[in-house]
């Protein structure tokens, strides 16, 4: 028995050593790392003038009243100074600081505190609301200790990280945790690929750095989940996404993002089935902007973008970020899926900031008004022909044709995919002009082995979308 216990202990000890040796060492303390990094993390305070109405009375005095002049001042707009707090970090010894745009937005005065006691005025070199990044320059000739960016793509779920910032105005505060998730989208900005961490992040941490165990910045702390402080879920902009933007803000004072000129959506399993794509992947082109780089290159609605500039597109959300960081004016090779095969298109990228995305077309429609409701039995829906008045009212491209869905039956295969007032403009990549066009496509699909049909629609928000629907 004793021998068995000894063997068991030996096994457990050996197993523990094996795990330990195959993973990164858990630090006994973060003290040395924190001590080295804290001089590079700054506290930011801003002020701006806010105009408010100081009338605290729920009533008005009649004209000529002796109280009218006495209380007149209470009804006039009053100016007051509003203060805000945030964090940032130094990336250049000359005093260049990175923070969030929302920390300094509309600020009249920006004060940056370094090492807890040194205060400097700062000016904005450039700001990017789309990614929520700003770059500041301290007004001084002093030299500072900068930190370096790390490779956020190498950061793994479970890796140790520390956050340093100015929560609740308390000054340099260190918190530790792990990377909880990658590639998070939370609906805050156009370009989202957040690192999620359980390192405590609170109000005032915005703009501060998220460090790896080598002391490199792998994220910019930007948001928290919950209104009452940290609940263990915070979000950081990955350093690899931020570096290009920061460089442009320093060099040009503004961003110069690539622009493709397409509206895209996810490729569902149903769409992949219809298009004979091996699996749901890529970005489906829902619409193409007029006079855009995509239109000039011959990319059309219904194309599936599989690869851009040599980078594979697995999910739709990957494409905007890749396009944005690609040099404006570059001739880019785009691999697309069209008519069940791969083809290559060469696109000369435009600049997003100077584009007029999704202009309304100028071609005149030649269709006649035909508002009569017609039932399509195979789909269990009622439709009417799209009119010129519909196009004008909904601000659709003038050349748009299709059928407006007026009713959807409870047994319709479209019940959970579209809503009344949606407009069907294509079926199986065939343009729909009248009811007969749609009925012919539906019957063809029903008589095949496929039984899945691909619709192009305008939804009730007038966005062009593709949906795949099984008819059986």
- Catalytic-labelled residue, pool 102, 152, 180, 422: 102
Asked if 266 is an active-site residue, the reply is no
Q: How far apart are CA 218 and CA 193, in angstroms?
A: 13
Among candidate residues 206, 241, 287, 294, the one labeled active-site is 206
CB-based contact 274:267 (threshold 8 Å): no
Instruction: Choose the catalytic residue: 132, 193, 198, 303.
Output: 132
Based on the residue annotation, tell me whether 206 is a catalytic residue of this protein: yes
Catalytic residue IDs: 102, 132, 206
């Amino acid at each position: 028995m004793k021998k068995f216990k000894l063997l068991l202990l030996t096994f457990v000890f050996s197993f523990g050593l094996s795990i330990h040796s195959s993973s990164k060492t858990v630090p006994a303390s973060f003290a040395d790392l924190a001590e080295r990094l804290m001089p590079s993390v700054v506290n930011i305070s801003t002020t701006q003038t806010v105009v408010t109405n100081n009338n605290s009375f729920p009533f008005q005095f009649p004209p000529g009243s002796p109280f009218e002049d006495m209380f007149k001042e209470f009804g006039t707009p009053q100016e007051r100074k509003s203060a805000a707090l945030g964090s940032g970090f130094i990336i250049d010894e000359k005093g260049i600081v990175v923070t969030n745009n929302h920390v300094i937005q509309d600020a009249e005065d920006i004060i940056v505190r370094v090492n807890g006691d040194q205060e400097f005025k700062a000016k904005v070199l450039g700001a990017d609301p789309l990614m929520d990044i700003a770059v500041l320059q301290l007004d001084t000739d002093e030299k500072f200790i900068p930190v370096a960016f790390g490779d956020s793509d190498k950061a793994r779920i479970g890796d140790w990280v520390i956050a340093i910032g100015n929560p609740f105005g308390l000054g340099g505060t260190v918190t530790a945790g792990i990377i909880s998730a990658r590639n998070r989208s939370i609906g805050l900005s156009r370009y989202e690929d957040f690192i999620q961490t359980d390192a405590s992040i609170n109000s005032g941490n915005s703009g501060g750095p998220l460090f790896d165990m080598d002391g490199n910045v792998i994220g910019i702390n930007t948001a928290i989940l919950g209104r009452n402080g940290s609940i263990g879920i915070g979000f950081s902009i990955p350093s690899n996404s931020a570096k290009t933007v920061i460089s442009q803000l320093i060099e040009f004072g503004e961003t110069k993002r690539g622009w493709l000129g397409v509206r895209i959506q996810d490729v569902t399993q149903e769409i992949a089935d219809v298009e004979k794509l091996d699996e749901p992947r890529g970005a489906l082109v829902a619409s193409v902007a007029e006079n855009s780089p995509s239109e000039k290159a011959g990319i059309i609605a219904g194309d599936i973008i599989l690869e851009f500039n040599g980078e594979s597109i697995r999910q739709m959300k990957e494409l905007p970020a890749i396009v944005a960081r690609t040099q404006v004016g570059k001739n880019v090779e785009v691999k697309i899926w069209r008519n069940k095969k791969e083809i290559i298109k060469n696109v000369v990228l435009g600049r997003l900031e100077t584009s007029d995305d999704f202009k309304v077309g100028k071609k005149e429609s030649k269709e006649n008004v035909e508002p009569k409701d017609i039932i399509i039995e195979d789909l269990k829906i009622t439709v009417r022909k799209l009119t010129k008045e519909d196009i004008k009212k909904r601000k659709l491209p003038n050349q748009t044709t299709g059928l407006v869905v007026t009713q959807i039956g409870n047994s319709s295969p479209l019940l959970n995919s579209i809503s009344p007032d949606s407009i069907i403009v294509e079926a199986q990549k065939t343009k729909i002009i009248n009811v007969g066009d749609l009925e012919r496509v539906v019957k063809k699909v029903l008589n095949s082995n496929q039984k899945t049909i691909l619709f192009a629609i305008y939804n009730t928000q007038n966005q062009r979308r593709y949906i795949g629907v099984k008819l059986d």
